[in-house]
Amino acid sequence: MQNSRNTAKQVYDAIVVGSGATGGYAAMALTQRGMKVLVLEAGRDIDPMKDFTEHSFPYDMKYRGLASGGPGSKFAPRQPIQSRCYAANEYGAHLFVDDIDNPYTTPDDKPFWWIRGRQVGGRSLTWGRQSYRLSDYEFKAAERDGFGEPWPISYKELEPYYDAVEDFVGISGSYENLPQLPDSKFLPAMKMTCGEHLLKKAVERNFKNRKVIIGRAAILTQRHQGRAACHWCGHCDRGCTTASYYSSPGSTLPAAQKTGRMTLRPHSVVREILIDNNTGKAKGVRVIDQRTKQDYEFLAKVVVLCASTLESTRILLNTKPRQHPNGLGNSNDVLGRYLMDHAFPIGVGGIVPQLKGQEYDYSDGRANGIYVPKFRNVFDKHPNFIRGYGMQGGVRMGYSYARAKNTQGFGAEFKKQVREAPEELFFSLNCWGEMLPRAENRVTIHPTKVDKWGIPVLHIEAQHGDNERAMIKDMLETTSEMVTAAGFKITSQNTEAAPPGFCIHETGTARMGADKKTSVLNKWNQLWDVKNVFVTDGAAFTSQGCQNPTLTMMAITLRACDWLVEESKKGNI
């Protein structure tokens, strides 16, 4: 280990590690409650006018926007994992990490595709923005089916924090009054397309307890909290210069900065948490400068990890003071275990014969789709698997590069043929299935391999199990029967789940719980072993549910920060 060469004299009230969805929210919550906060981001700062490309046209790009990645790609030789993600293309690859500088290992027969972003804002710049509350069908799932541990909190306890987050972030959607999918505090919902209405009518007419609703998205449909309404450019994965979708640089970080109590330090790769040998409490963090590789120490009364699920756990595992030789918070050998990621993207695609030749409807600018809430193991018990899955998809007209390449002509007539006269209208309907928390799905520190900054990397070992495989079979059956009932024609199927990680919904590895013997954090996201260290990102999840997790991450962050501030005032932290 390097000797620290620079120790900051200032002692902050709190250090927040990470500047993404949860880090930004922690920074805002703590500074607005009077704390002086240092936010450490491993990557660079961003300039929206240079880094965001949502308004760039193909002719602006070197490869005309047609370059894509994947293993062996000449376009992305340093991003063999990142370039598998649809958003890590020529427009957005710079918002994803360099895989060569940021390695990790997996067993040959258990791949894990870890998609990451290291810059101010993290993955809040490129996330899918789908935002759904968990319910007690998730928080208390273990009590219902006997598998695993229940969360130490209930929906009722988290509900006011969901409300507060949604009031600030802005979630568009429709009120449905569904027990398994609590309503949010919504901005006006986006509209369904004709094809989606066809599917909704057919499904709700033919299948009891199945609903087709518009997706719930962290995209503004009207001006909100000083941010502009979405202007429907349709390329949210490339950034948003108008901050019309939720990202931390567009909302929470500026709000924190406005208080005058936040210091943001990019290029700060956190190696470990510093422990005071006299008190046993955390006293700060050790950082390696991303550019100079110089070693720094920053001091604080509280450390809040929001570095993303696996990075937060990596920091804890790499923190091995005398009192915690197996990693900070790992006195019970739970840290690093119970890794989860949704089984995805199982489903079907094809064409909608009824709408062939439909006039252009501008639906390609709507960065949202439809959602089918979980219906398995809600109203009755499925004989082959526990938990359930939700569906996302849509029927939209879109500007297609492939269609443009295959269309003859040029000028105005060419544009008209490409955009206004599609031969077919396409649909997709795919599933996101809950992955059960199992102890054998885990991360550990590799004994010899390090990253560019000399920090030991993770070894990730995870795979889907029998329950997920049984669920996948049912996913194919239900998606097929639903679109067939609507008269759609299936032309493709996704029959196998991608390796874990690829859904970018990784959770667990430092889970919350009511029992110190079986969890890493208590119900306030506080480390059992060190009371002034908190983890509020996806690492804290006890189980996963099938809903997209970011909204819940922000809600538990706000809840933990509220408690942290009050307990600090009392001298209990």
Residue pair 372/211 in contact (Cβ under 8 Å)? The answer is yes
Q: Could you tell me the sign of the dihedral formed by the alpha carbons of 421, 483, 502, 252, in that order?
A: positive
Q: What is the pLDDT of residue 358?
A: 82
Instruction: Give the tokens for residue 145.
Output: 């089916």
Long-range contacts of 160-163, Cβ-Cβ distance < 8 Å, separation of 24 or more: 161/555, 161/556, 161/558, 161/559, 161/562, 162/133, 162/551, 162/552, 162/555
What's the pLDDT score for residue 3? 45
- Please give the full DSSP string across 243-289, using - where no structure is assigned: --B--TTTTHHHHHHHTT-EEEE-SEEEEEEEE-TTT-SEEEEEEEE
One-letter identity of residue 34 = G
Amino acid at 354: Q
pLDDT along the chain (573 residues), means of 10: 63 98 98 98 96 91 76 79 93 96 97 98 97 98 97 98 98 98 98 97 97 98 97 93 97 98 98 96 98 97 98 98 95 97 96 87 90 97 98 82 65 76 82 98 98 98 98 98 98 96 98 98 98 98 98 98 98 95
How would DSSP label each residue in 529-540? S-TTEEE-SGGG
Q: DSSP per residue over 412-457, as a string?
A: HHHHHHHHH--S--EEEEEEEEPPP--TTSEEEEEEEEE-TTSPEE
Q: How far apart are the first and last CA of the chain?
A: 29
Provide the pLDDT for residue 2.
Answer: 40
What CA–CA distance (Å, rounded) separates 498 from 111?
9
- Sign of the dihedral defined by the CA atoms of residues 391, 395, 401, 407, in that order: positive
The 10 Å Cβ neighbour count of residue 319 is: 24
Coil/strand/helix, residue 335: coil
Q: Which of 300, 317, 320 is nearest to 539 (CA)?
A: 317
The type of residue at 453 is: W
User: Strands (DSSP E) along 68-192, which ranges?
Assistant: 171-172, 186-187
Closest CA to 135 of 94, 91, 70, 183: 183
Q: So what's the pLDDT on residue 401?
A: 53
Tokens coding 243: 């901050």
pTM of the model: 0.95
d(CA 38, CA 14): 6
Taking CA atoms, 119 is separated from 242, 258, 385, 411, in Å, by 18, 21, 40, 40
CA 569/CA 419 separation, integer angstroms: 60
Burial group, residue 538, by CB count within 10 angstroms (0-12, 13-18, 19+) = buried
pLDDT of residue 414: 79
Plot region of 396 (φ>0 → left; ψ -120 to 50 → alpha; else → beta): beta
pLDDT, position 9? 83
**Rounded (10°) angle between helices 550-569 and 21-32:** 30
Q: Are 96 and 43 in contact (CB under 8 A)?
A: no
